[in-house]
Amino acid sequence: MSDTVLQSLNAGVLQLTLNRPDKLNSFNEEMHLALRAGIQRAHDDAEVRAVLLTGSGRGFCAGQDLGDRDPRKGGPAPDLGHTLDTFYNPTLRLIRALEKPVVCAVNGVAAGAGANIAFACDIVLAARSAKFIQAFAKIGLVPDAGGTWNLARILGEPRAKALALTAEPLPAEKAADWGLIWKAVEDADLLAEATALASSLAAGPTLGLGLTKRLIQAAATTSLDEQLDLERDCQRTAGRSADYAEGVTAFLEKRKPEFRGQ
């Protein structure tokens, strides 16, 4: 297992820690593959019932490692469409397709694809000192890793365009005010708070939570009629789960439910 992404599984929470702190956890090929392997494990391993993504050191992730893109080394211009297809996009799709909650604890600066990977997670907490930067404009690229989709959808065109065209840092608190992330918390409390949240989700009715994630994501592209049909189908599935039976029984018995994720 690569040490560029640390993995630890505790009480159903798979913590994935981006771990190239000297480079602000920017992505080289090894870290790409290690992150993807971590998310894939969350798909495959029934013991994993929530994911917590964070970074080591003072940054969350500075996007692509630009040392690997140094034009001074010569050779033809890289095909960045190919690198998106090969590295970033499969990981983004895996995070979205994972029917388990993904909590992101943004512990410091999140720039370029680093910011947009955070925005692709389900619940994002950020340290008050963290900032989000659409750094692409500074180097002649376009926002990727789903950034144009998330920013335009969540913020609307005026704010999305201003952030992307100026590459101005967006402080965590403002990102929370604008609805881009769930909340900003004191730096010292970030990991404990994010872990508590992920743990409580991991102890939840995993199947129902996964279907809920599917439904909310689907709403970006469905009509109300289609969405009502999808809700009906998912509710039918949730209604047959052991966790639903346990949830109702626990309510009637006035006790805390013990969900098993089934």
Q: Looking at beta carbons only, is 3 or 45 nearer to ligand T3D?
A: 3
Distance CA 228, CA 136 (A): 39
CB of 248 to ligand T3D, least distance (A): 46
Name the maximum alpha-carbon separation found in the chain: 71
Residue nearest to ligand T3D (CB): 63
Distance CA 99, CA 144 (A): 23
CB of 27 to ligand T3D, least distance (A): 7
**Helix, strand, or coil (residue 36):** helix
Query: Does 17 help bind ligand T3D (rule: CB under 6 A)?
Result: no
End-to-end, the C-alpha distance of the chain in Å comes to 29
Ranges within 62-101 binding ligand T3D (CB under 6 A):
62-67, 69, 80, 83
Distance CA 181, CA 138 (A): 23
Contact 69, 18 (CB under 8 A): no
Ranges within 103-142 binding ligand T3D (CB under 6 A):
109, 111-113, 133, 135-136, 138-139, 141
The stretch among 29-37, 58-66, 90-98, 180-188 that binds ligand T3D (CB under 6 A) is 58-66
> According to CB under 6 A, which one of 23, 96, 174, 260 is a site residue for ligand T3D?
23
Nearest CA to 36 out of 80, 77, 88 is that of 88
**Edge-to-edge strands, sheet with 131-133:** 59-61, 109-111, 131-133, 170-171
CB of 180 to ligand T3D, least distance (A): 17
CB of 121 to ligand T3D, least distance (A): 16
What 8-state DSSP symbol labels residue 14? E
Q: Looking at beta carbons only, is 88 or 259 nearer to ligand T3D?
A: 88
Contact 184, 128 (CB under 8 A): yes
> According to CB under 6 A, which one of 122, 144, 155, 191 is a site residue for ligand T3D?
144
Distance CA 158, CA 187 (A): 30
Q: Looking at beta carbons only, is 114 or 204 nearer to ligand T3D?
A: 114
Query: Does 143 help bind ligand T3D (rule: CB under 6 A)?
Result: no
Q: Looking at beta carbons only, is 132 or 244 nearer to ligand T3D?
A: 132
Query: Does 35 help bind ligand T3D (rule: CB under 6 A)?
Result: no
Query: Does 243 help bind ligand T3D (rule: CB under 6 A)?
Result: no
CA dihedral 129, 37, 146, 101 (to 10 degrees): -70
Q: Looking at beta carbons only, is 5 or 203 nearer to ligand T3D?
A: 5
CB of 20 to ligand T3D, least distance (A): 9
The DSSP annotation for 40-104 comes to HHHHH-TT--EEEEEESTTEEE-SB-GGGG-GGG-SSPP-HHHHIIIIIHHHHHHHHH-SS-EEE
Query: Does 55 help bind ligand T3D (rule: CB under 6 A)?
Result: no
List interacting residues with ligand T3D (CB under 6 A): 23-24, 26, 62-67, 69, 80, 83, 109, 111-113, 133, 135-136, 138-139, 141, 144
